């Protein structure tokens, strides 16, 4: 019985709470949060698998380290991975813009012990997207 009362109280609370949420601006509101730069994209998208320190993880799957990763030396390699995915790595060609991918790849290539100074451009990403016949 008390269980049902609790549920009813929760339902009433949800009804009261939802109209206020609808016009709340910024995070916590109904609009999706759009990352502003490569660092934010990393934190919102990549970190879940590659970890905050980019050292990867092994558990239910294997998530390779991006920290100190020589394969990032060739910009096309990480661009290709983010655009096309591979195995447990999702593809992002249809959810991220070339600019956003350029920023996040530049971010991982210049952080976590990687020091590849040449910034990745949206044009480089676009070329790889075009190559997949998007
Ligand atoms: C759902 C989990 C997941 C997410 C999210 C994810 N990755 Fe990955 N990533 C993986 C896995 C798993 C692999 C290994 C794929 C393989 O080689 O089979 C990988 C591989 C990579 C590689 C190649 C590493 C190597 O040594 O070969 C790069 C670069 C990479 N990811 C970058 C990113 C970036 C940048 C993001 C964010 C835009 C991201 N990943 C988001 C799971 C993820």
Digit-coded pLDDT (tens) for 74-117: 999 999 999 999 999 999 999 999 999 999 999 999 999 999 99
- Residue that has been written with the tokens 């934190």 in this structure: 43
Query: How does residue 16 score in pLDDT terms, banded at 50, 70 and 90?
Result: very low
CA of 107 to the centre of ligand 1 (A): 14
Report how far apart, in Å, the C-alpha atoms of 36 and of each of 32, 52, 67, 103, 126 are: 12, 18, 22, 10, 19
pLDDT score of 20 more than 70: no
pLDDT score of 48 more than 50: yes
Which residue from 79, 61, 63, 59 is spatially nearest to 71, judged by alpha carbons?
Answer: 79
Nearest CA to ligand 1 atom 37: 46
> Mutation test of ligand 1: which of 77, 89, 104 has the most ligand atoms closer than 8 Å to its C-beta?
89
Long-range contacts of 55-58 (CB under 8 A, 24+ apart): 55/112
């Amino acid at each position: 019985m008390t269980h049902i009362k609790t549920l009813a109280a929760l339902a009433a609370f949800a009804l009261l709470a939802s109209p206020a949420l609808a016009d709340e601006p910024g995070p916590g509101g109904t609009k999706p949060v759009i990352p502003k730069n490569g660092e934010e994209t990393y934190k919102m998208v990549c970190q879940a698998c590659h970890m905050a320190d980019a050292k990867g993880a092994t558990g239910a799957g294997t998530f390779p380290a991006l920290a100190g990763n020589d394969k990032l030396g060739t910009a096309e390699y990480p661009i290709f991975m983010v655009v096309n995915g591979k195995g447990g790595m999702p593809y992002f060609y249809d959810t991220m813009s070339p600019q956003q991918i350029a920023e996040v790849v530049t971010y991982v290539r210049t952080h976590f012990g990687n020091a590849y100074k040449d910034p990745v451009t949206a044009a480089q990403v676009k070329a790889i997207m075009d190559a997949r016949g998007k």
